[in-house]
């Protein structure tokens, strides 16, 4: 590697940047927050509440290590790719842990990364945000035969 320590440090600082690097995973369905936060719901088809929070907390050390290893590499810094890998893994965890029902919530993970306020990564979700009409149809189907199937607090009689 050519250059002095100061030269290489300056090069690394230029690659890493001075602004914030932010990774996000959004689950863009109108009912996502309710499904995420409500512990009263039953999920007979699989999945669970806190499907975004739990994997983030459970994997935070792994994510931190990933970012640390990508901060300084043989070729400089690959921190942006490290953050992309983290948000993609978290999006995958949403797919694994979100309630199943029709599968639209699971497939709605939308990972993005911004570097100093500029979008550097934006993978669209695998499932679009459901329209009002699609939500009405989904509601009709899910309550057609067993209206209280998804509520823990009520028993089917």
Report if residue 150 sits inside a domain.
no
- Torsion angle (degrees, nearest 10) of CA 69, 74, 77, 80: -60
pLDDT of residue 147: 58
Domain range for 46 is 19-142
The greatest distance separating any two alpha carbons of the chain, rounded to the nearest whole angstrom, comes to 77
Residue 72 Rama label (left phi>0; alpha psi -120 to 50; beta): beta
Structural domain contains residue 13: no
Please give the pLDDT value at position 145. 62
pLDDT at 85: 98
For the entire predicted model, the pTM comes to 0.82
70: in domain: yes
- The tally of CA atoms less than 13 A away on the side-chain side of residue 23 is 20
Say if 4 falls within a structural domain: no
Q: Is residue 1 part of a domain?
A: no
Q: Is 24 helix (H, G, I), strand (E, B) or coil?
A: strand
CB 46 within 8 A of CB 99: yes
In a domain, 43, yes or no: yes
Determine the distance from the C-alpha atom of residue 120 to the mean position of all C-alpha atoms in its chain, rounded to a whole number. Answer: 16
Select from 109, 56, 113 the least CA-distant residue to 79: 113
Spans of the chain below 70 pLDDT: 1-2, 16, 144-157
pLDDT in tens, 87-117: 999 999 999 999 988 889 999 999 999 999 9
Would 151 be classed as within a structural domain? Answer: no
Q: What confidence score (pLDDT) does residue 65 get?
A: 96
Check residue 20 and report its DSSP letter: -
Q: Is residue 153 part of a domain?
A: no
**Number of domains comprising the chain:** 1
């Amino acid at each position: 590697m050519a250059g002095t320590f100061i030269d290489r440090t300056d090069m690394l600082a230029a690659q890493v940047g001075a602004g914030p690097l932010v990774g996000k995973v959004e689950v863009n369905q109108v009912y996502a927050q309710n499904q995420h936060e409500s512990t009263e719901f039953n999920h007979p088809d699989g999945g669970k509440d806190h499907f975004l929070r739990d994997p983030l907390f459970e994997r935070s050390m792994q994510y931190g290590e990933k970012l640390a290893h990508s901060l300084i590499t043989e070729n400089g810094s690959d921190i942006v790719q490290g953050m992309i890998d983290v948000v993609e893994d978290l999006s995958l965890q949403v797919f694994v842990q979100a309630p199943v029902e029709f599968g639209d919530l699971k497939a709605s993970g939308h990972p993005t990364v911004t570097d100093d306020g500029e979008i550097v990564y934006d993978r669209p979700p695998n499932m679009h945000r459901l329209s009002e009409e699609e939500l009405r149809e989904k509601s009709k189907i899910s309550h057609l035969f067993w209206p209280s199937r998804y509520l823990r607090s009520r028993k089917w009689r």
